[in-house]
A and B are shown apart, each in its own frame.
Chain A
């Protein structure tokens, strides 16, 4: 635990989420980090770039490759971005309106696709992402509405479906799912979703309660690691001084 008092306040829930997202890109090497699901994955990617993953490539959210300080180092318009996906030198973190136990993800619509109850974004690049480069997910509010038994429209391909197409899906990998409650992965014999770590202040029961399917829970679940003092300073003073992360995940650590 961090020491009470002093200049640095204790890490917030949002900051544990930033660390958990940043860790997705550890040891990724010289690949494009594509944080797409919200503010916290973006803060995480920049933190990784500034600390333990200095070789990462980042975009400005449009057509430019930029250093963490915004210096332009390259050009990546959509046409090249979509081809870079095919080359595999990328690890994307997408959002998910629904996700199931094997990591099938939906961002297209809720209800029957033909006439949806709620039209959402559409499949976007989820089908190509999941077959070509590692794809992680960020869920800012862990709930049974998101973690469902069956998604209404499979956009991002999960492990069960990938297994049916071993040739085409040979590059398929879902390294992690980060939520406001913890980190999940698929490191189980049948690639069913497993609770990999809990953010401090969260119980296994809370995660089970907020998940719409039976989660694999190991006997001992570790805590998401603590941010270092240097990482906290970077998050708070350099990357996100306006505190956008706290609006995405309000602090519940003290509750």
Chain B
């Protein structure tokens, strides 16, 4: 059985500028941030990014790596509007294919099923049709004759997802409340890279009380590489291992991008963790001083 483990930098070295890359998670939840940070380091750009957008989109947009975005929203959840994404949009920094959340899902399903499109009752009557003039409709061939949007397959060159545990073969389990669409991203992609909090033996995957076999979300036949990335979703949530780092997310949202990037994204993942810890110690000291003064 193939051992697919690799480092984040090795995974990202298989990507190239101009590719279509799907990113798992949802908003500011279980985003493969260690892999996104590796993409930022690798200098890959001109990407078509497909995402239920959160800070993954915000960072890649701020860094000028996105040529085209396919999304229904971009949000930090507890901070509804993603400030870096917003700034990039307001300067017209990239092309946008703005579709509805359900259209997006059916586009991934079409890609995973090798279908050119799937019919969706969404978009018609809205300006989604105006801003995506390439979207086509399809009429039901049955008696009802209803017209649907023919949502095109969102086929991906590569997918990046983050789960709680994975084995070396590429089987991945999520332990939080929602799988989001990570299995679909992997199935819709030519190559999928799964980062995880911890690599464990296959037998260990389903050992925990909250780890029934139905939580085995990612199947190895869809996976090219497995990356062990503890805290790899930081600062987004990765329940039950950790919640969202709200304080750090506020810092990210409030800081000018160059300042944030210089301080936290200049080095590798190890350097990132050290920089975050240093910032956290500063905050604790600051609070301690306030408390005693």
Contacts and interface: CB of A to CB of B under 8 A. Distances in A.
Given A114-B92, A153-B131, 12 more contacts: A79-B179, A79-B180, A85-B102, A119-B89, A123-B128, A124-B73, A127-B103, A127-B125, A131-B124, A155-B128, A161-B125, A168-B121
Contacts of B178: 62-63, 77-78
A64 B178 CA distance: 9
Contacts of B81: 119-121
B34 interface: no
A168 B99 CA distance: 17
Contact of B100 (A77, A125, A162, A168): A125
A196 interface: no
B74 A122 contact: yes
Interface of A is mostly: loop
Given A62-B177, A62-B178, A126-B100, A79 B105 contact: yes
A77 B90 contact: no
Given A118-B90, A128-B122, A153 B127 contact: yes
A78 B180 contact: yes
Contacts, number: 137
Given A116-B89, A165-B147, A167-B146, A127 B122 contact: yes
A125 B98 CA distance: 11
A170 B125 CA distance: 12
B123 interface: yes
Interface string A63-93: 1100000000001011100100110000000
B73 A122 contact: yes
Interface of B: 26, 53, 71-75, 80-81, 85-86, 89-92, 98-103, 105, 120-128, 130-131, 144-148, 177-181, 184
A162 B121 CA distance: 12
A62 B26 CA distance: 11
B122 to A, nearest CB: 4
B102 A168 contact: no
Contacts of B144: 167
A75 B26 CA distance: 17
A99 interface: no
Contact of A168 (B72, B127, B148): B148
A21 B160 CA distance: 40
Contacts of B92: 114-115
Nearest to B95: A114
Interface of A: 62-64, 75, 77-79, 82, 85-86, 108-109, 113-128, 130-132, 153-157, 161-162, 164-165, 167-170, 172
B103 A128 contact: yes
Nearest to B177: A63
Given A78-B26, A113-B131, A86 B102 contact: yes
A225 B92 CA distance: 48
B264 to A, nearest CB: 24
Given A109-B89, A115-B91, A122 B71 contact: yes
Contacts of B122: 127-128, 131-132
Given A114-B92, A167-B146, A121 B73 contact: yes
11 contacts: A77-B177, A79-B180, A113-B131, A122-B73, A127-B102, A127-B123, A132-B122, A154-B126, A157-B125, A168-B146, A168-B148
Contacts of A117: 90
Contacts of B145: 167
A82 B179 CA distance: 13
A130 B148 CA distance: 14
A122 B105 contact: no
A165 B102 CA distance: 19
A168 B145 CA distance: 9
Contact of B72 (A75, A79, A122, A164): A122
Nearest to B131: A113
Nearest to B122: A128
A228 to B, nearest CB: 34
A168 B124 contact: yes
Nearest to A117: B90
Contacts of A130: 125-126
Nearest to B145: A167
Contact of A124 (B72, B91, B125, B147): B72
Among A118, A121, A132, A156, which residue has the most Cβ atoms of chain B within 10 A?
A121
B125 A125 contact: no
